[in-house]
C-alpha cells in the first residue's frame, strides 16, 4: 500500500467534517445542495458511516462555505465539534499525555486520525519552540487556506482549554500560545476575539505557533502517561498515511539538493509523472524547496538572531547577495525589513 494519499483519493469519512458543515449551513438558511455544489456529493451520502470522500471534495465544500458564510465563524464552530468527535483512542492518548511535548508527539503518531490535512515542523530558539505548519495533501486556494488556519487554531484552543480546565487559571495563562497567521486581518475579526484566548497577529510570512520552551516539558498535574502509552498501542482502524505534499516535503528535507529525477525515483515514477502530480496538487518542486528554505530562514533570522551571513551559510547559498535576492522573492521583504516587521508585530500581541 502507498505510504501517502493524493488529492482525489477517497480516504476521509464523509461525516467527520462535511456533515457538520452542511448542518450548520442549514441552520443559517443555506440549502445543502448549495454547500455541496460541484463536490459530486449528495446529502444522503453524508449519513453513511462508510462513505469516503477525497480532499478535493472537501476543498470544494469548504470553498462554497467561505463564499456563502464567510462571517459566520463556521471554522471555529467546526473546531469545537471536531474536537469532540475525534477517534477515542487518539483523543485519550492526547488528553493523558504527561506534557505538551508528548502531546505533540502523539499528534505526529496519530496524525491521520487527528488532523491529516496539515502537519507541523518544530524549531527551537533560545527561549521558545516554534511549530511551522504546512498543508499535507495539496495547496488550497486562499479562502480554503484561511478556513483551515482558523480551524486548526480553534482546535488547538479547544484541546488546551479542555486539558487545563481543572487547573488554576494561572496554569492556563502560562500555556498561552502565540499564533502568526499568514493572512490579512479578516473583516470578521470578532470571531477571533470570541474563540481564541491565544495571542495572535496577521500578515505573517508563515503559519507559526510558538510558546515558551520551559512550558513544553512542564508536567501536567493530573496526567497519566501510562494511559497515553496504552491508547497508542490500540489498533488503528485505518491505515496511517500522510498526504502527498507532506511526503514530498519530507523527501526534500532528507535530500535538499535532490533533482526532480531523484525525487521521482524515490516514488518509483517518472519525472514527468511527478511534475504532473505536483501540478495536480497545486504546487511544484521548486515551490516546495523555496517554502522550506523560507521557513528555515525565518526561524534563523527572527528567532535565533542569525546574521544574513550566517543564514546564507546555513542554507548553503554561494554568497549573501543571492540569499538576499531569494529572501525578497520568498517574503516580499529584505531580511532587515522582515526583522523590523516581526518585532513590531510581536509587541502588539
Which among 109, 123, 179 has a CA at the least distance from the CA of 151? 179
pLDDT for position 11: 92
Residues 6+ apart with CB under 8 A from 23: none
CA distance 95 to 276: 41
Give the Å distances, CA to CA, from 171 to 3, 95, 131, 164: 39, 16, 21, 7
Cα separation of the two ends of the chain = 46
pLDDT band at 236 (very low <50, low <70, confident <90, very high): confident
pLDDT for position 344: 54
pTM of structure? 0.92
Q: In this predicted model, what pLDDT tens digit does every residue of 137-163 receive, in sequence order?
A: 999 999 999 999 999 999 999 988 887
pLDDT band at 118 (very low <50, low <70, confident <90, very high): very high
* CATH architecture for segment(s) 4-232: Alpha-Beta Complex (3.90)
Q: Right CATH number for 255-346 from 3.40.640.10, 1.10.540.10, 1.10.10.60, 3.40.50.10470?
A: 1.10.10.60
Measured at the alpha carbon of residue 150, what is the angle toward residues 51 and 248, in degrees to the nearest 5? 65
Is residue 86 a contact partner of residue 45, using CB atoms and an 8 Å limit? no
Q: What's the gap between Cα 169 and its chain centre?
A: 27
Residue 286 vs residue 221, higher pLDDT: 286
SS (H, E, C) 24-69: HHHHCCCCHHHHCCCCCCCHHHHHCCCCEECHHHHHHHHHHHHHHC
Is residue 200 a contact partner of residue 181, using CB atoms and an 8 Å limit? yes
- What residues does CATH 1.10.10.60 cover in the chain? 255-346
Show the cell assigned to 211. 510558546
- For the chain, percent of residues with pLDDT exceeding 70: 93
- What residues does CATH 3.90.1520 cover in the chain? 4-232
Q: In this predicted model, what pLDDT tens digit does every residue of 288-309 receive, in sequence order?
A: 999 999 999 999 998 888 999 9
CA distance 41 to 330: 38
What sections of the chain are H helices per DSSP? 18-27, 32-35, 55-68, 74-84, 88-95, 100-109, 111-114, 142-163, 169-174, 189-195, 213-216, 225-232, 244-254, 260-267, 271-280, 285-298, 308-314, 320-331, 335-346
* DSSP secondary structure of 285-298: HHHHHHHHHHHHHH
Amino acid at each position: 500500500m502507498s505510504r501517502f494519499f493524493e488529492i482525489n483519493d477517497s480516504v476521509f469519512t464523509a461525516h467527520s467534517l462535511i456533515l457538520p458543515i452542511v448542518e450548520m449551513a442549514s441552520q443559517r438558511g443555506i440549502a445543502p445542495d448549495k454547500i455541496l455544489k460541484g463536490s459530486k456529493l449528495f446529502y444522503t451520502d453524508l449519513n453513511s458511516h462508510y462513505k469516503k470522500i477525497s480532499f478535493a471534495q472537501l476543498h470544494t465544500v469548504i470553498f462554497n462555505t467561505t463564499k456563502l458564510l464567510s462571517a459566520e465563524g463556521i471554522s471555529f464552530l467546526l473546531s469545537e465539534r471536531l474536537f469532540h468527535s475525534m477517534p477515542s483512542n487518539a483523543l485519550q492518548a492526547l488528553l493523558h499525555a504527561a506534557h505538551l511535548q508528548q502531546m505533540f508527539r502523539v499528534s505526529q503518531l496519530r496524525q491521520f486520525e487527528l488532523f491529516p490535512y496539515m502537519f507541523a515542523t518544530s524549531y527551537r530558539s533560545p527561549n521558545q519552540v516554534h511549530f511551522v505548519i504546512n498543508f499535507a495533501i495539496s495547496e488550497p486556494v486562499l479562502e480554503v487556506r484561511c478556513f483551515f488556519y482558523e480551524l486548526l487554531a480553534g482546535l488547538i484552543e479547544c484541546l488546551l482549554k479542555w486539558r487545563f480546565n481543572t487547573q488554576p487559571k494561572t496554569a492556563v495563562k502560562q500555556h498561552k500560545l502565540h499564533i502568526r497567521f499568514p493572512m490579512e486581518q479578516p473583516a470578521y475579526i470578532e470571531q477571533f476575539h470570541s474563540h481564541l484566548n491565544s495571542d495572535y497577529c496577521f500578515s505573517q510570512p508563515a503559519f507559526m505557533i510558538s510558546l515558551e520552551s520551559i512550558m513544553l516539558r512542564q508536567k501536567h498535574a493530573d496526567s497519566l502517561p501510562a494511559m497515553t502509552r496504552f491508547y497508542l498501542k490500540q489498533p488503528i482502524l485505518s491505515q496511517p498515511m500522510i498526504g502527498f505534499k507532506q511526503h514530498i516535503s519530507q523527501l526534500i528535507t532528507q535530500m535538499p539538493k535532490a533533482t526532480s529525477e531523484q525525487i521521482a525515483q524515490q516514488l518509483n515514477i517518472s519525472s514527468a509523472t511527478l511534475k504532473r502530480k505536483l501540478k495536480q496538487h497545486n504546487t511544484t518542486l521548486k515551490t516546495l524547496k523555496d517554502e522550506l528554505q523560507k521557513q528555515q530562514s525565518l526561524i534563523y533570522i527572527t528567532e535565533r538572531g542569525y546574521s544574513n551571513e550566517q543564514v546564507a551559510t546555513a542554507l548553503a547559498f554561494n554568497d549573501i547577495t543571492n540569499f538576499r535576492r531569494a529572501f525578497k522573492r520568498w517574503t516580499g521583504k529584505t531580511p532587515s525589513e522582515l526583522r523590523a516587521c516581526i518585532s513590531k508585530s510581536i509587541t502588539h500581541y
